[in-house]
Chain A
Amino acid sequence: MIPAAFEYYRPKDMDGVLSILAEHGDDARVMAGGHSLIPMMKLRMADVPHLIDLQDVAGLSGIEVDGGQIRIGAMVTQHDIIDHADLTAAAPILREAALQIADPQVRYMGTVGGNVANGDPGNDMPGLMQCLDAQFTVVGTDGERTIAARDFYEAAYMTAREDEEVLTSVTFAAPKGGYAYEKQKRKIGDYATAAAAVQIVRDGDICTEASIAMTNLSDTPIYSEAAGAALIGTMVDAAALTAAVNAMLGDIDPTEDNRGPIAFKKHVAGVILRRAIERAWSRA
């Protein structure tokens, strides 16, 4: 658990970050909270000759809740999310999810930006951001662009962000209706055996909008449009729940690991989604 030697940079602004990235290309990586990257370096599974620490870069922290729009800076920690009353009022699913990530020590360090940008299928925020239809802002030498969370993930650790770009913020419209983040894990600090993010809008007895995303059940987060569609226009009764679960099961592709074999994971994914929908509907 000793990393190979690396150069450590701590620039004060984004121009400084981008110039180091431009100079070293693949050999440089930016670090937010470091709770994924540092262990990988210690295991010598990640070779990072040039490590750029973002903590002194201005403008990357802060949570803005402005009317119906929410912006979360890349360096905002999970703890900041849990602690932010306005954010919790506007988008309570974030707090519910963040409380299920790791443990308090990790949540003091782990950031939203690192969590969504790393591309680890075990991370909870990517699926959550797909559920919220968030946009990720990245900046490179050619300027800023935004990428939809639902388009961002290509494969495990492979994303639409270019090597020389830095993810700076996450924005999304304040969600409406009921919500739930349901996660099964073996213990504190574990990745999900299965997790589901659900936002649901109710008009009378009828579901009018539904957004569903699943975590750690494929090599990317899975936004299941079909699962949401199965609920829309229904009274979210038993048949609709079964249809949504079946639609979701058609979208995920879990692999066997120490958490269990595929059949178990699919079964649990179904149970977890069913419970998430029921809880979100009860809150809608």
Chain B
Amino acid sequence: MKDDVTSREERVENLKGMGCSRKRVEDARFTQGKGNYVDDIKLDGMLFGDFVRSPYAHARIKNIDTSAALEVPGVLAVLTAKDLEPLGLHWMPTLAGDKQMVLADGKVLFQGQEVAFVVAEDRYAAADGIEAVEVDYEELPVIVDPFEALTSDVVLREDLVAEDGSLPDGAHGPRKHHNHIFTWEAGDKDPTFDTIDAAEVVAEETMYYHRTHPCPLETCGSVASMDKVNGKLTLWGTFQAPHAIRTVVSLISGIEEHNIRVISPDIGGGFGNKVGAYPGYVCTVVASIVTGKPVKWIEDRMDNLMTTAFARDYWMKGRISATKDGKITGLHCHVTADHGGFDACADPTKFPAGFMNICTGSYDIPTAYLEVDGVYTNKAPGGVSYRCSFRVTEAVYFIERMIEVLAIELNMDAAELRRINFIRKEQFPYTAALGWEYDSGDYHTAWDKALSTVDYDGLRAEQAERVEAFKRGETRSLMGIGLSFFTEIVGAGPVKNCDILGLGMFDSCEIRIHPTGSAIARLGTISQGQGHATTFAQILASEIGLPADSITIEEGDTDTAPYGLGTYGSRSTPVAGAATAMAGRKIRAKAQMIAAYLLEVHDDDVEFDVDRFVVKGAPERFKTMKEIAFAAYNQAIPGIEPGLEAVSYYDPPNMTYPFGAYVCVMDIDVDTGVTDIRRFYALDDCGTRINPMIIEGQVHGGLTEALAVALGQEIAYDDMGNVKTGTLMDFFLPTAWEVPNYETDYTVTPSPHHPIGAKGVGESPHVGGVPCFSNAVQDAFRAFGLRHTNMPHDHWRIWKTANELGLHDMS
């Protein structure tokens, strides 16, 4: 079994370990249509369930008549809240400490809300059954504006008002009004206000980060199968956190947790949309218990856009103060957060506004204060982190717009303003005014690299010429230079301050090495397209010296995988990736003892080298990991148990803080509002890079979703609470046609506390991309007096900006 004919370089190459652009092992099946998604699951006798949904945004339900529906051929049952009430399942807990109706209990609070669940032999019969259910609604006044909600007499949630009219505390403390959910504060109010009041320069701005939606290609769905013989429930679903779902199902159904098996099969994108629990999941479980047959529920696109978790919807009011030469002294942010009819945000329990308190961004701001008010309205519930860590996209958009507005106030270049306020390399670990401890960073190096690569000064000169040409009437096109520098906060998180429903946000990895030197590793996370089967095998290959191609990665089956909190908020690499490395090191420690025994030397006299242990000073004497694996199962070694397995549960000591520098160059047709992205440069620093090709793919994807949000993607409501953007005709999902070429670049600043120094990257490009695209649009009009205009920057809103600035009068 000696294979020392290969050079060390070849041995490293054979491993396909960290740093290698290993091709994604998942793609063979995904590109051939061989994936196995929830809707691909077909079981004998499986039934299909679907919802009667409310056409109204706010209405009392006077009666539900299911008799005609039950006459429809193929319809077996119609569940309403009355049927679920005896089981205590007509409401369910949300991840945010609120509760949500599973089926409408007396009223509806948003358009598309689940009113009744029709169970039928197939989805066609279910659709006909839905048509036949007669619901008698009494319309109520609709509130879609959170500011109106906070002054309105209309009570949206009667269940949260005591009989004497008083307001019991919510999950996050006192409530100011019957439509108010919580107030959450961070930082020091008085010192911040004093600083701002006394400052030489203050810039103020109010911005609306519009409601949008993660819109994964695969919509949400589940298949529940209750085996009444052995009492076991199997639940397949689009779950970004299968283990947490198992615990939640057990807690609300009373079925013991060992009798529940939750499986997340292949998931066609999540982006936060699949973190929470939805009424459909509960209804398939109940329907399977009631009928004794497997029951499937799958959303269509309109259901998905209208009802399952939205993102953003933050009204942000900011004040930023500085000295007259541009050194920032203080920051104040107030958010009015529209959570819809139920507070179903997916955030760690102690953070009802997520990590919005990262809103001091990448800057050394001595004093800051944040206050967030959560509000109920007649919109769909949600508030998930769409391709970002918890509310980080909102935070970064806020600070990156405030920087631009301050630059205008100071009449200063926005790149220079950033530079003089960055946290300096030597300040890390850096404790920000709002409490977070940034692990590592080198912002100036990244910024200088970005600006020099794009020839920033040259771009500004070209832009100035363009403005002059425009004023002379020689062109109708303006040029915008979008800048953004972002710091993410990912890898939730340390159990001491991060939990969801009381479950600590650690993660896990369990490794079994097989006798012939291949392995399987199972994790508590679940890939939704991130390529875990590829990258986690690479981490292990480097840690244990077996080729990545010989390592299977498995996730998503709670009967086999170790407990973990799942995949969202870029937590897989920071948390489960660390668990993988730590479990690998346990394997390696045991392998070292075995190697020493086999080589007849002391444990301390061997050292790990790529794929083997060698005797120190005698490299010709070695045992490969493959040989060691075989010995672990076939040789009696005194004092060492047979086998080669390890498990690690990793509680991260801190979050990780990836960062990046982005530049967008955009041309804007002033007369039509059409934008053309000429150049997009993205420098990401995600610490140690595991697979550069996957990083590049993640950056492309995150930027494309950023482009979507910045330039047109929104969930818009009319005054009656009707969703205006419920199909892909009006909800902007970019195709290759709309996407520019992206230039990617990097620096490497490893995380000092992560076992392999990796920080996570999947969400960075979205977090940094949205303000970059938006800043490009706004920058194009800076010369004509624009301070701020809200996203999304679709054609007509850009046209409106130009129109209001008088730019159409010149044509």
Known: A5-B124, A187-B712. A268 touches B730 (CB 8 A): no
Asked if A157 is an interface residue, CB under 8 A from chain B, the answer is no
Asked if B301 is an interface residue, CB under 8 A from chain A, the answer is yes
Q: Which residue of A lies closest to B130 (CB)?
A: A2
Within 8 A of A (CB), among B112-128: 123-124, 126-128
User: Which residues from chain B contact A184 at a C-beta distance below 8 Å?
Assistant: 672, 674, 795
Give the shortest distance, in Å, between A217 (CB) and chain B (any CB).
14
Give the shortest distance, in Å, between B728 (CB) and chain A (any CB).
8
Give the shortest distance, in Å, between B59 (CB) and chain A (any CB).
21
Which of B124, B724, B735, B800 is the one whose CB lies under 8 Å from A188?
B735
Known: A184-B672, A268-B799. A1 touches B732 (CB 8 A): no
Give the shortest distance, in Å, between A141 (CB) and chain B (any CB).
34
Asked if B716 is an interface residue, CB under 8 A from chain A, the answer is yes
Q: How far is B724's CA from A264's CA once the two chains are assembled, in angstroms?
A: 19
Known: A5-B128, A187-B734. A258 touches B123 (CB 8 A): no
User: Which residues from chain B contact A191 at a C-beta distance below 8 Å?
Assistant: 729
Which of B131, B300, B671, B730 is the one whose CB lies under 8 Å from A258?
B730
User: Which residues from chain B contact A103 at a C-beta distance below 8 Å?
Assistant: 735, 737
Asked if A189 is an interface residue, CB under 8 A from chain B, the answer is yes
User: Which residues from chain A contact B21 at a C-beta distance below 8 Å?
Assistant: none
Give the shortest distance, in Å, between A119 (CB) and chain B (any CB).
18
Within 8 A of B (CB), among A243-266: 258-261, 264
Asked if B645 is an interface residue, CB under 8 A from chain A, the answer is no
Asked if A187 and B732 sit within 8 Å, CB to CB, the answer is yes
Known: A1-B300, A258-B716. A187 touches B128 (CB 8 A): no
Q: How far is B431's CA from A45's CA once the two chains are assembled, in angstroms?
A: 58
Q: Which residue of B lies closest to A259 (CB)?
A: B796
Q: How far is B83's CA from A147's CA once the two chains are assembled, in angstroms?
A: 59
Q: How far is B671's CA from A103's CA once the two chains are assembled, in angstroms?
A: 26
Q: Which residue of A lies closest to B731 (CB)?
A: A258
Asked if B302 is an interface residue, CB under 8 A from chain A, the answer is yes
Which of A5, A44, A186, A268 is the one whose CB lies under 8 Å from B712?
A186
Q: Which residue of B lies closest to A258 (CB)?
A: B730
Q: How far is B808's CA from A79's CA once the two chains are assembled, in angstroms?
A: 38
Give the shortest distance, in Å, between B718 (CB) and chain A (any CB).
11
Q: How far is B735's CA from A188's CA once the two chains are assembled, in angstroms?
A: 7
Q: How far is B799's CA from A261's CA once the two chains are assembled, in angstroms?
A: 11
Within 8 A of A (CB), among B252-306: 300-302
Asked if B794 and A268 sit within 8 Å, CB to CB, the answer is no
User: Which residues from chain A contact B800 at a C-beta distance below 8 Å?
Assistant: 264
Asked if B735 and A264 sit within 8 Å, CB to CB, the answer is no
Give the shortest distance, in Å, between B707 (CB) and chain A (any CB).
11
Asked if A193 is an interface residue, CB under 8 A from chain B, the answer is yes
Within 8 A of A (CB), among B743-777: none
User: Which residues from chain A contact B808 at a C-beta distance below 8 Å?
Assistant: 267
Within 8 A of A (CB), among B77-96: none
Q: Contact residue range for chain B? A: 20 to 34
User: Which residues from chain B contact A1 at a C-beta distance below 8 Å?
Assistant: 300-302
Give the shortest distance, in Å, between A91 (CB) and chain B (any CB).
26
Asked if A26 is an interface residue, CB under 8 A from chain B, the answer is no
Asked if A186 and B300 sit within 8 Å, CB to CB, the answer is no
The contact string, 1 if C-beta is below 8 Å from chain A, for chain B 326-363, is 00000000000000000000000000000000000000
Give the shortest distance, in Å, between B526 (CB) and chain A (any CB).
27
Q: How far is B737's CA from A103's CA once the two chains are assembled, in angstroms?
A: 10
Asked if B738 is an interface residue, CB under 8 A from chain A, the answer is yes
Which of B724, B729, B732, B799 is the one whose CB lies under 8 Å from A267?
B799
The contact string, 1 if C-beta is below 8 Å from chain B, for chain A 176-201, is 00000000101111110100000000
Q: Which residue of B lies closest to A261 (CB)?
A: B796
Q: How far is B126's CA from A160's CA once the two chains are assembled, in angstroms?
A: 38
User: Which residues from chain A contact B795 at a C-beta distance below 8 Å?
Assistant: 184, 186, 193, 259-260, 264, 268
Asked if A4 is an interface residue, CB under 8 A from chain B, the answer is yes
User: Which residues from chain A contact B550 at a C-beta distance below 8 Å?
Assistant: none
Give the shortest distance, in Å, between A208 (CB) and chain B (any CB).
29
User: Which residues from chain A contact B247 at a C-beta distance below 8 Å?
Assistant: none
User: Which residues from chain A contact B738 at a C-beta distance below 8 Å?
Assistant: 187-188
Known: A186-B712, A189-B729. A2 touches B123 (CB 8 A): yes
Asked if A188 and B737 sit within 8 Å, CB to CB, the answer is yes
Give the shortest distance, in Å, between A180 (CB) and chain B (any CB).
16
Asked if A271 is an interface residue, CB under 8 A from chain B, the answer is yes
Give the shortest distance, in Å, between A267 (CB) and chain B (any CB).
7
Q: Which residue of A lies closest to B301 (CB)?
A: A1
Asked if B671 and A267 sit within 8 Å, CB to CB, the answer is yes
Q: How far is B672's CA from A264's CA once the two chains are assembled, in angstroms?
A: 8
Known: A5-B124, A187-B732, A188-B735. A268 touches B301 (CB 8 A): no
Q: Which residue of B lies closest to A39 (CB)?
A: B727
User: Which residues from chain B contact A193 at a C-beta distance below 8 Å?
Assistant: 795-796
Asked if A186 and B672 sit within 8 Å, CB to CB, the answer is no
Q: How far is B124's CA from A4's CA once the two chains are assembled, in angstroms?
A: 8
Known: A1-B300, A5-B128, A260-B796. A187 touches B672 (CB 8 A): no
User: Which residues from chain B contact A258 at a C-beta distance below 8 Å?
Assistant: 716, 724-725, 730
Asked if B729 and A4 sit within 8 Å, CB to CB, the answer is no
Q: Which residue of A lies closest to B725 (CB)?
A: A258
Asked if B131 and A187 sit within 8 Å, CB to CB, the answer is no
Asked if B124 and A187 sit within 8 Å, CB to CB, the answer is no
Asked if A264 and B124 sit within 8 Å, CB to CB, the answer is no
Give the shortest distance, in Å, between A270 (CB) and chain B (any CB).
9
Q: How far is B736's CA from A103's CA once the two chains are assembled, in angstroms?
A: 11
User: Which residues from chain B contact A264 at a C-beta distance below 8 Å?
Assistant: 673, 795-796, 799-800
Q: How far is B796's CA from A264's CA once the two chains are assembled, in angstroms?
A: 6
User: Which residues from chain B contact A261 at a C-beta distance below 8 Å?
Assistant: 796
Instruction: Please indicate which of the listed interface residues A186, A188, A268 has the most CB atoms of chain B within 10 Å of its own CB.
Output: A186
User: Which residues from chain A contact B732 at a C-beta distance below 8 Å?
Assistant: 186-187
Asked if A44 and B301 sit within 8 Å, CB to CB, the answer is no
Give the shortest distance, in Å, between A236 (CB) and chain B (any CB).
18
Q: How far is B801's CA from A260's CA once the two chains are assembled, in angstroms?
A: 13
Instruction: Please indicate which of the listed interface residues A187, A188, A268, A271 has the most CB atoms of chain B within 10 Å of its own CB.
Output: A187
Give the shortest distance, in Å, between A92 (CB) and chain B (any CB).
22
Instruction: Please indicate which of the listed interface residues B673, B732, B737 has the most CB atoms of chain A within 10 Å of its own CB.
Output: B673
User: Which residues from chain B contact A4 at a C-beta distance below 8 Å?
Assistant: 127-128, 131
User: Which residues from chain A contact B728 at a C-beta distance below 8 Å?
Assistant: 189
Known: A2-B123, A186-B795. A271 touches B671 (CB 8 A): yes
Instruction: Please indicate which of the listed interface residues A188, A190, A271 has the most CB atoms of chain B within 10 Å of its own CB.
Output: A271
Instruction: Please indicate which of the listed interface residues A1, A103, A191 has the most CB atoms of chain B within 10 Å of its own CB.
Output: A1
Q: Which residue of A lies closest to B800 (CB)?
A: A264
Within 8 A of B (CB), among A1-37: 1-2, 4-5
Asked if B799 and A44 sit within 8 Å, CB to CB, the answer is no
Q: Which residue of A lies closest to B300 (CB)?
A: A1
Asked if A260 and B799 sit within 8 Å, CB to CB, the answer is yes
User: Which residues from chain A contact B128 at a C-beta distance below 8 Å?
Assistant: 4-5
Give the shortest distance, in Å, between A256 (CB) and chain B (any CB).
10
User: Which residues from chain A contact B131 at a C-beta distance below 8 Å?
Assistant: 4, 44
Known: A188-B738, A260-B796. A271 touches B672 (CB 8 A): yes
Give the shortest distance, in Å, between A52 (CB) and chain B (any CB).
21
Give the shortest distance, in Å, between B699 (CB) and chain A (any CB).
22
Within 8 A of A (CB), among B788-805: 794-796, 799-800, 803
User: Which residues from chain B contact A190 at a C-beta distance below 8 Å?
Assistant: 729
User: Which residues from chain B contact A186 at a C-beta distance below 8 Å?
Assistant: 712, 732, 794-795
Q: How far is B800's CA from A261's CA once the two chains are assembled, in angstroms?
A: 10
Query: 4 nearest interchain CB pairs?
Result: A260-B796, A2-B127, A1-B300, A188-B737
Interface pairs (12), CB distance under 8 Å? A2-B124, A4-B131, A184-B674, A186-B732, A187-B738, A188-B738, A258-B725, A258-B730, A259-B795, A259-B796, A260-B794, A271-B671
Known: A4-B131, A267-B671. 13 other contacts (CB 8 A): A4-B128, A103-B735, A184-B672, A188-B738, A189-B735, A190-B729, A193-B795, A258-B716, A258-B725, A260-B794, A261-B796, A267-B803, A272-B672
- Residues on B lying within 8 angstroms of A by beta carbon are 123-124, 126-128, 131, 300-302, 671-674, 712, 716, 724-725, 728-730, 732, 734-735, 737-738, 794-796, 799-800, 803, 808
